Structure 1
Amino acid sequence: MTTATTGTGTDKDTAALDFVAPKADELAALLAGHERPQRPGALSASLTFGWRAMLKIKHVPEQLFDVTAFPIMMVLMYTYLFGGALAGSVSEYIQFLLPGILVMSVVMITMYTGVSVNNDIDKGVFDRFRTLPIWRPAPMVGYLLGDVVRYVIASVVMLSVGLLIGYRPAGGAAGVLLGVALLLVFSFGFSWIWTMFGLLLRSEKSVMGVSMMVIFPVTFLSNVFVDPSTMPGWLQAFVNNNPVTHVATAVRELMAGEWPTAEIAWSLGWSVLFALVFGAVTMRLYNRK
């Protein structure tokens, strides 16, 4: 019977005594001998966080439900529910409804940005982001850039369903692309409202509740479903000055082959206003929270 031999404690102590710690100047020379990596630019950092938002969808594909099933349900439900009563036929009503319901659906989807922000705060992820040597707004801008991809998916789904049930844009592909581009710009600016709520409120449920209280009046009290000329005067005053009304009118006319200069200017103006005002409030909360 044989036994294995092992090193003794004395051998380990001897090996430890043989180790000589490097001097401070040697460590400094070693560290200084390599160039420090460049600090990432604003665009690079924002795109990186945008890619992070997309990876969330890869790992949790159920997040695409609100940009696939929800838009399909909206188009079919409102088209066949109101088409005959309001326009006499589905084929006529879809020409008016689809651009408006497209705007409404994408604007409603924007509120999930605030939910994502609040969720990351609750998990402590933002504590790590704040310590990184990056452009400070990059995490927020990254959220919005990632959501723009979701808005594109929702737009493609809704337009595909609309074409199947009879929508025919007189402006052709160019008009459709211009209308969707304007909607994406507006949605990017509008989303800053929800980043503010995501930082301000304490839970996801609070963000969802407040978002619904804001977004339902803004989207339903507009010209998405009907012409506001049939409404009472006091209601017309609100509807005609509603940002969603301006965007819906601009998108509707662009897809019809027209160029509504005033409505496009209003839509872009609202987009810039939302981004400047709520973006500033968002960053103030982000820096102090």
Structure 2
Amino acid sequence: MTATGRVGAEFTAAWRSFLRRRTAVFFTFFFPVLLILIFGVLVQTQPTGGGLFTEPAGYYVPGYLAVVVLFTPLSRIGSTVARHRDGNRFEKLATTPLSRTEWLLARTLVNVVIIGIASLLILGLVVLVTGAEVALSPALIPFIGIAVALFCGVGALLGSLADSTDGTIAASNTIALPLLFLSETFVPPDLLPTWFQPIVNLSPLTYFARGVRAVTNEASAAVWGRDLIVLCVLAVGFVALGAYALPRTD
């Protein structure tokens, strides 16, 4: 069997495993919907007022997408790696032609599909509920796919290095929560202390938020191209690190 065939077989198995876990399916799509209903309907944006949500509704589209792009890969890949490690499943994997890199690639592709579907749901709901003006561009596809791959790599690292599944989940939340609100998603940089604003550039999610915001505002590729390049470089690096960190049995 070729590498493509091995990845495809693992992708199919992982996809079916996800669909069988109805609770995981439900909350994967319900959590971002709940967030949109809270912020978009109950809190609402107030462009002419004061407070946190002072930007137009379209400004927060990257933040809503970031919820699934960030949390889902970190928790799903991280907990899966931790469970496989604790159950010695990587020892069984070593007896098959499927390499650790191919295993992580297949799992990453599953998350890209899942989060792609969730992103379509989020975009439609944001437009319907908040009235945000969102330009649907093909450029959104690479931003979402590459960001998902990046955080799958981070999740693989956490799952390999944490001492338990619970520890992996705790570490994922500890990393994800600050990134979600301090990466030009929901909080504009000018609301942060001056000394902290350059630190925002250290977050991979910042480049996702900037790029998606530019794309949904119909900006030219010259505006969002740099952000996509940075995401690509970071994704390659973290996926390579994540694959290398997966438990070894040789």
TM-score bracket for this pair, using the shorter chain length: 0.7 to 0.9
Separation in 1, partners of 2:23, 2:211:
32
Structure-2 residue corresponding to 1:56: 17
Alpha-carbon displacement from aligned partner over 1:215-246 (angstroms, at most 9, x marks no partner): 11122112111321232211211124432122
- The corresponding residue for 1:124 is 88
Deviation at 1:278, TM superposition (A): 5.1
Would the alpha carbon gap of residues 132 and 284 (structure 1) be closer, same or farther in structure 2, given more than 3 Å must change? same
1:168 matches 2:133: yes
Letter matched to residue 114 of structure 1: G
| Alpha-carbon contact 1:87-1:93 (below 8 Å) kept | no
CA shift digits 1:94-147 (9 cap, x unpaired): 211123321233212111211112122323332211111234421111111111
Instruction: Name the residue aligned to 1:225.
Output: 186
**Correspondence for 2:58 among 78, 91, 95:** 95
Change in 2 beyond 3 A, CA 1:283/1:258: same
Higher relative contact order (CA 8 A, sep 6+): 2
Aligned to 1:50, the other structure's residue is in SS state helix
| Displacement of 1:81 | 4.8
| SS of corresponding position for 1:188 | helix
Alignment RMSD (CA, Å) = 2.5
**Where do 5+ consecutive residues of structure 2 fail to align?**
none
Could you list the runs of 5+ residues in structure 1 that have no partner in the other structure? 1-39
Structure 1 segment 105-184 matched on structure 2, within 5 A: 105-111=68-74, 112-165=76-129, 166-169=131-134, 171=135, 173=136, 175=137, 177-184=138-145
**Cross-structure match for 2:153:** 192
Counterpart Cα distance in 2 of 1:277 and 1:102? 20
CA contact (8 A) 2:210 2:224 kept: yes
> Which stretch of structure 1 is more off in the superposition, 77-86 or 127-136?
77-86
Q: Which residue of 1 aligns with 2:219?
A: 258
Count of paired positions: 246
Structure 1 or 2, whichever has the larger Rg, is 1
Compute the displacement of 1:49 (Å): 1.1
1:52 positional shift: 1.2
1:68 aligns with 2:29: yes
Native 8 Å contact 1:190 1:275 kept in 2? no
Post-superposition CA distance 1:190-221 (Å, at most 9, x none): 21011111122232111001111111112211
Q: Give, as a single letter, the amino acid of the residue that structure 2 aligns with 1:151.
A: I
- Overall identity of the aligned pairs, in %: 22
